[in-house]
Amino acid sequence: MLRDTVFLYPAEHYLDEVIVYGRHIINGKKTLEKMPKRDILEEQPPHSMGEFDLGILLDKRFRRDKEHVEKLREIFRKMDGDDDDPIMKAYRESQKDTINTRKKPVETQ
C-alpha cells in the first residue's frame, strides 16, 4: 500500500486485502470472431460536410501503416500478375487444382 496516497485516513480504516469475484466472464476470442473485420484501406464512414475526424488527421502511425499496406499490396499484385511465364502458369493451375480437391468431400460407399 502506498502510504503517501491515502495519508488522510487513519490506519484503522485501511483495507488489508480486497477480493473481487467476477460473475460475468467475457470470452475474448468469441467476441473478436463476432466483430467485423475492417481493412485499413477502407473508406471512412460517410459523414456530413462540416464533420471530420481529428484523431485520424493527427495519427501519424495510421498514415504510415496505410502507405505501407498500399505498397505491399501493389508488390503482391505485381507478383500475382498474369505474366507469360509457363512455369508460373502451371504452378498456379496446380495450386487451383489442389485447393479444389481439398474443398470436395470424400465420397464413401
b/e map 4-21, b = 16+ CB within 10 Å: eeeeeeeeeeeeeeeeee
Model confidence pLDDT, tens digit, residues 26-35: 888 888 888 8
Q: What is the pTM of this model?
A: 0.40
Residue 48 DSSP class: -
Closest CA to 92 of 81, 103, 102: 81
76: left (phi over 0), alpha (psi -120 to 50) or beta: alpha
Q: What is the mean pLDDT of residues 97-109?
A: 67
pLDDT value at 69 more than 70: yes
Q: Is the pLDDT of residue 65 over 70?
A: yes
Which of 69 and 32 is assigned the larger pLDDT? 69
How far, in Å, are 18, 25, 35, 79 from residue 29 at the CA level?
29, 12, 10, 34
Phi, psi of 30 (to 5 degrees): -65, -35
Three-state DSSP at 76 gives helix
Confidence class for position 71, pLDDT limits 50, 70, 90? very high
Tell me, what's the pLDDT at 49? 77
